[in-house]
Structure 1
Amino acid sequence: MSRRASEREDRAGGPEGAPSAASQRIWLPLNALRAFEAVARERSFTAAAASLHVSQSALSRHVGRLEELIGRRLLERRPSGVALTPAGAALLPVLTGSFDRIEQTIRGLRQEGAGPRLLRVHMPPTFLTVFGVDLLKAFRAAFPGVLIDVSSSNGVGLPASRALDVAVVFDKPRVDDRVRDLLWTVSCTPACSPEVAAAAAGRSLDDFLQQAELLHVKLENEPFGVFWADYARQRGLSVDERRGLAFDTEALAVQWAMAGGGVVLIDDGTWQREVDAGRLVTVGPTVDTAYGYYLTLHPDDLHDPAIALFRSFLINRFAGGGPRPPLPPTAPAP
């Protein structure tokens, strides 16, 4: 092939003018995509404009141009705020994931040569208190070249608006664009202090729970008393799950129960040490739940060395849903 023919082929993108993969990509209006992602995330033009430090009119123009490019409405303006159309709901998680991965890559490039790898890990509060601290300590001892940035929040599923490398989440089984490794499925057993349990002697479980103070764990986007309602349904009990005290974390609810404050539903494997030590007494049968703890990450990160190490470490410790890792002899901190 002559030099001139080769140059013509390069400009055309391939043999006989075939376009290259890059030239086939549609033009992406990054500012408009960023504007839509902010409005959709905040559900408000006002809040999105403030977060991006631009005017609402500019933001509105960007979103309008993106809708023109796609040929579909992405947002609906309502008196109560902004709602996503089906097209907008399909686009938002793709954009958010893409922006997160771009940010992660840029952060990684900045850190190259600047020191150890920083791994951003999220764990629910109770998991972090009971298991996470010792797991992270053991991981750091095994892999001192990987630094850990730990965050924690209560709720179901992945926390919103957080840039994470890997997360342990409390959730139901679901199919999405994430890799999810089940660590274990959560069960529920009613438990209380020995003093409260003694008062239940000779009474039916239904009668005891109708009179006892029920202790709840609050979950974002879940109704009050969801676990007690499910337990009563499975056991055929006439318990009013709407009463009692609610706590931000299971660890706080368990501490209140051990102090004689009421009856809490515990996951046996999580709180077995307290039961064995006599600080908690189970007063009813165990039922299964739809919830579990999952190790979650993005499939694009499966080959990241630090994430792969952490994933393998945690899966080996929990043996794919088997017994929990051994706990230290001291009680967890409040």
Structure 2
Amino acid sequence: MKYSLLAGALVAACFATPTLAHDVRADDHAPIGVMADHAHKKGEFMFSVRHMHMEMSGNQIGTNNISPEDIVTSIPNRFAAMPGQPPTLRIVPTEMRTDMTMVGAMYAPTDWITLLAMGNYVEKEMEHTTFAHAAGTHIQGTFSTNPKGLGDITLGGIFPIFGVADRKGEDQHELNVRAAVSIPTGSTTKTAKILTPMGMEPTIRIPYMMQSGSGTWDLKPSVTYKSWHGAIGMGSQYSGTIRTGTNDQGYRFGDVHELTTWVSYRPAQWISLSGRVMGRSTGKVQGIDPMIMGPVQTANPDFQGGERVDIIGGINLVGTHGPLAGHRLGIEVGAPVYQDLNGPQMAGDWMLTIGWQKAF
């Protein structure tokens, strides 16, 4: 509700008078889901808040769907040799929701570097179906896990290669690079109560993808190119997350490589519409946490990562004068059109990003 009210206020402010008091355009910034796309002039600050909501459902192996019944009757349990472990998987995740709120700040001490810091708070919820210990498809029951907490913190800098922070002409090109590091402030030891195939309800360490942190110091480079031709804007960005070392639990997440390209159209100074394609490749978990085990796919490091392509539509709004001058609101909604997963693994459904930005 608060985002829709802000959007309405921005629209009202932009139409209140024909005189524009600030030389800002809605497409000066990339779509809201693209991070580190711009630098600032010496002495400028910028603050931002983004909220991302993502949903997953169903399971895939590669590009093919697989039902919970097929998983529990055909997929071996990696931990079958351990006491009390069944020969096949018997717990299947069926739905997952992730909410992440990110708070960021930028400051340019000089024209050639913009310092950045970003922290986040993550809440995840996963629904599971537990099948009885014996072979077959008899359902023992269902349960959910709902970990939440602070994630890892990112610190770094953005270096403009060419172009300027404020676009004066109608046609311009801009290139910048980001050098950043992710500090392992998020937890890798969260626990939750589960339902086992034997009907017990122990509290155990939750699997890898449900933790809020990586446990490793990660490099986060990116390169962003943007151009404008009248009312048409275009851009591309490569960004990566490169894991270093192994965390205290004995593993590290797979590297992430992401490439996104977008086109935007600005029908008026205060509004820009965008379409974006994003491809992502995520590696498997390397190593294993000895406290994470069980007849569930999420406990197997090999059933992590894969490739996916998303199509995303968005809108950017900016206040051009009055009390909302310079305030930006961005919204993006997207869904995957291709997924090739190291499965069985849950498949993505859709995602929403809403964000606010303001430079001073």
In terms of fraction of residues, the more helix-rich structure is 1
Which has the greater radius of gyration?
Answer: 1
Shared topology, TM-score over 0.5? Answer: no
Give TM-score scaled by structure 1 length: 0.24
In terms of fraction of residues, the more strand-rich structure is 2
Give TM-score scaled by structure 2 length: 0.23
Q: Which has the higher contact order (CA 8 A, sep 6+)?
A: 2
